[in-house]
Amino acid sequence: MAAALEIGFGDLSMHAVARRLGVTTAALYRHVDSIDQLVARCVDAFTDRIEPPPPGLGWRQHMEALASSFRAAYRSRPGAASRAFQVGPSSPAAMRLVENTLEVLVAAGFDHRLAWRTASAVIDLATTWAIKAEAAASRSPGSTVFDPVTAEDFPTTTAVMAAVLPPDLDRAFAENLALLLDGVEQRRTRTDSGAVR
């Protein structure tokens, strides 16, 4: 596993791991059935390093700390976000984080559906922002996905993008997380009053 993590998620392949270990690819297959199994094991080892939020936080602070832990972990391992997104929370380490988070949300009075949606939305947000950050880092400096957009064809988009680009990804992530959690709080309040189910 250490050899696979040293290679990194972006360049991970059975051949690369075998080469790093100094063995043949066939020899590696005696220990790992497939690249999918290798990826799942690497994601589990990676997820095991994600710091769970400290106990005693309110639900919102817990979710902010969870998102921060995921982002820090993804930054430490380029390519991990897209691989983790493919595998999902199937590993024991990932399930421990999910269990801990659901316990906090249910204890705060969330119904089961809203607890699950909140946990998955925050983890998905952290994961997709890590993927976006990796994509942005791979582009030429100063370029964005909106470079081909012209004011003539898309005047509103051009005006909005001029106001927000280049993005400060940390600030943008914090703002998006706040919007998400504000929406959860509104949904939770309406659910508690019986208005939404």
d(CA 94, CA 99): 9
CATH of the domain at 71: 1.10.357.10
Domain count, the chain: 1
Which range has highest mean pLDDT (28-42, 43-57, 80-94, 174-188)? 174-188
Predicted confidence (pLDDT) at residue 76 exceeds the cutoff of 90: no
Structural domain harbouring 108: 54-192
Provide the pLDDT for residue 37: 83
The reply to whether 26 falls in a domain is no
Q: What's the mean pLDDT in 3-9?
A: 76
Q: How confident is the model at residue 193 (pLDDT cuts 50, 70, 90)?
A: low
Residue 98 included in any domain: yes
Residue 197 pLDDT > 50: no
**Does some domain include residue 27?**
no
| 3 within some domain | no
The pLDDT value recorded for residue 134 is 80
The answer as to whether 33 is a domain residue is no
Structural domain contains residue 37 = no
Whether the predicted pLDDT of 23 surpasses 80: yes
Q: Identify whether 197 is part of a domain.
A: no
Asked whether residue 12 is assigned to any structural domain, the reply reads no
